[in-house]
């Protein structure tokens, strides 16, 4: 009886310990059918903790059906808990001048669970936008 209790207690503790992890399993098709245009990035990291916790895994660009540039930024949470951050995109015309974006509400708040990926997407506010900057900062 004592042995049975120890076995049940061990199984219960193992189950409890494994349920404390806050991770996500994902599945996707192995053969990507889409034509993907990846772009190189230039990074300026001023917050080394943020750069360690939330890593950039890929940048893609495309155009909408009506000719506006679109960018997707793929990030991965490297922490063991949900990570909350703030971000905003700035767009620039072909002369390097920042373009006003009336749809932008300033900083956007985003949460990504432990070990999971998150995709940030932005569409240029004007057709003559050629470049962008993504700003990231840790939430307080």
Residue 18 lies in a domain: no
pLDDT, one tens digit per residue, over 10-65 is 444 444 444 445 555 656 666 655 666 777 777 666 788 888 899 999 999 999 99
Nearest alpha carbon to residue 134 among 75, 93, 76, 94: 75
Given this model, what pLDDT does residue 22 score? Answer: 56
Residue 8 lies in a domain: no
The CATH number of residue 52's host domain is 2.60.40.3230
Residue 22 lies in a domain: no
Residue 87 lies in a domain: yes
pLDDT for 8 beyond 90: no
Count structural domains, the chain: 1
Residue 9 lies in a domain: no
Token pair, residue 65, equals: 């059906």
Residue 15 lies in a domain: no
Residue 92 lies in a domain: yes
Nearest alpha carbon to residue 135 among 95, 91, 81, 76: 91
**Residue 43 lies in domain:** 37-138
Residue 67 lies in a domain: yes
């Amino acid at each position: 009886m004592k042995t049975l209790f120890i076995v049940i207690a061990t199984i219960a503790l193992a189950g409890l310990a494994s349920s404390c992890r806050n991770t996500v399993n994902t599945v996707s098709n192995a053969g990507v059918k889409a034509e993907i245009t990846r772009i190189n990035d230039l990074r300026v990291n001023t917050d080394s903790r943020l750069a360690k916790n939330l890593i950039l895994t890929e940048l893609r660009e495309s155009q909408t059906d009506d000719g506006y540039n679109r960018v997707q930024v793929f990030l991965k949470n490297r922490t063991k808990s949900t990570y909350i951050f703030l971000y905003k995109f700035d767009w620039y015309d072909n002369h390097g001048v920042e373009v006003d974006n009336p749809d932008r509400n300033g900083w956007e708040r985003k949460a990504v669970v432990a070990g999971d990926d998150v995709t940030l997407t932005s569409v240029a506010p004007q057709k003559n936008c050629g470049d962008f900057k993504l700003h990231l900062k840790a939430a307080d």
